[in-house]
Amino acid sequence: MPAHVARFWIIVAIITALTIWAIAPVLAPFVWGVALAYLLRPACRGLERLGFQRWAAAATIIGGFFVIALATMAFLAPFLWSQALSLAIALPSAATRISALLREHWDTLREHIDPATLARAQAASAGYLEEVGSAAGSVLRGILSSGFAIVDLAMFAILMPMVGYYILIEWDRIVAWVDDLLPARWAPEVRDHVRQIDGVVSAWVRWQSIVCLILAAYYAVALGMTGLRFGVLIGICTGLLAFVPFVGFMTGLVACIAAAALTFDSWHGWAAVGGVLVVGNILDGWVLIPKLLGRKLGLNDVWVLLALLVGGHLLGLLGIALAVPGAAVAGVMLGSAVARYRASSYRTAGGDVAPGGGASYPARDITAPPVG
């Protein structure tokens, strides 16, 4: 790529990034509206194939989505709200009971630990917890300050379906307009990258949403059957938070420990709750993800978690909306850059390119005497 062309695109990227950062608080509902349209686009296409006009298909899909969402919230909200209030009231007593149990076993264990080792472990754990708390707090402050502090929930709820409806109607025109702006020389390669990104994002978002709903239903029913206090609330939250890798299971584990301390006096209840969590983790990692997504996933869990944390910290709700597409773009572009590097003279200098992509070097007679 010529230097002046590279400079042009670098300047465009910098201006775009600065603009997004400056208007991020008011941009969030629009980006979430685009994400909603992207999520519901296959259903809209299905209605169009059945003979619906595009505006009618978009209105039906958007309206049906929000009717189902509101009906679900209206059905679950009273029960979940009462459980959330009860859990908030019970948390202090749960903390006191867990602390007493830990202290009882800790006093016995401390007698067998060297004091210097104990002091180092306490200092290291305190520093780690402080860092984790600071990082979590900064992410939460970023979400609250850049999302709901400026664009309140009511405006968010109004703008998002409106933007989603408009994008569904104009989807083909927007895609054609963007495609027409592509530089002719790079258009085929850009289109190929976009197809890869679309495959990764669509597979991850749509199928991961289905996985989360299945896990939420499983955890809610299974934990409720164990007799665990607040089991349904904890189960739903654990399943829905599985959208963020590792966070859902760890949140459910901590919440189950706190609730079990308030519920059970024998080890049988603890074992039942532990079995539910183990089965849920196996169901998630060994059944649902491989069967529903398989190799279509395309995004590593650690990569997605990093993208979500960075996006939430920098841009709040907007950053969370852009995290998964951003991770997919970065992954595809990194793969393309690595492929270019493998085929470039920087890697193959000094030898011919082997069929497998590596460099082949002239064979040397190992029986010949060394030179010099």
Residue scoring higher pLDDT (235 or 369): 235
Over residues 212-229, mean pLDDT = 90
Percent of the chain with pLDDT over 90: 7
**Per-residue confidence (pLDDT) for residue 19, from 0 to 100:** 83
**Per-residue confidence (pLDDT) for residue 341, from 0 to 100:** 79
Q: Taking a C-beta distance cutoff of 8 angstroms, is the pair 62, 161 a contact?
A: yes
Q: What confidence category does residue 233 fall into, taking pLDDT thresholds of 50, 70 and 90?
A: confident
**Per-residue confidence (pLDDT) for residue 372, from 0 to 100:** 38
Long-range contacts made by residues 194-202, C-beta under 8 angstroms, separation at least 24? 196/332, 197/325, 197/328, 197/329, 197/332, 199/296, 199/298, 200/297, 200/298, 200/299, 200/328, 200/331, 200/332, 201/38, 201/324, 201/325, 201/328, 202/38
**Per-residue confidence (pLDDT) for residue 255, from 0 to 100:** 84
Mean of pLDDT over the chain: 74
Over residues 313-317, mean pLDDT = 67
Q: Each residue of 115-166: pLDDT tens digit?
A: 666 566 666 655 554 554 555 555 445 544 544 444 456 667 778 888 889 9
**Per-residue confidence (pLDDT) for residue 360, from 0 to 100:** 43
**Per-residue confidence (pLDDT) for residue 104, from 0 to 100:** 64
**Per-residue confidence (pLDDT) for residue 60, from 0 to 100:** 92
Helix pair angle (267-282, 187-225), 10° resolution: 160
Please give the backbone phi and psi of residue 359, each rounded to the nearest 5 degrees, phi first. -95, 135
Over residues 320-347, mean pLDDT = 76
**Per-residue confidence (pLDDT) for residue 112, from 0 to 100:** 62
Mark 150-176 as b/e (b = at least 16 C-beta within 10 Å).
ebeeeebeebbbebbbbbbbebeeeee
Over residues 97-117, mean pLDDT = 64
Residue scoring higher pLDDT (183 or 5): 183
What's the number of CA atoms in the CB half-sphere (13 Å) around residue 327?
A: 25
Alpha-carbon Rg for the chain, nearest whole angstrom, is: 27
Residue with tokens 């590279």: 6
**Per-residue confidence (pLDDT) for residue 367, from 0 to 100:** 39
**Per-residue confidence (pLDDT) for residue 275, from 0 to 100:** 92
Over residues 166-178, mean pLDDT = 90
Residue scoring higher pLDDT (176 or 3): 176
**Per-residue confidence (pLDDT) for residue 356, from 0 to 100:** 47
Checking if the pLDDT of 3 tops 70, the result is no
Long-range contacts made by residues 274-281, C-beta under 8 angstroms, separation at least 24? 276/219, 276/222, 276/223, 276/226, 277/249, 277/252, 277/253, 279/222, 280/215, 280/218, 280/219, 280/222, 280/238, 280/249, 280/252, 281/249
Q: Taking a C-beta distance cutoff of 8 angstroms, is the pair 320, 305 a contact?
A: no
**Per-residue confidence (pLDDT) for residue 26, from 0 to 100:** 74
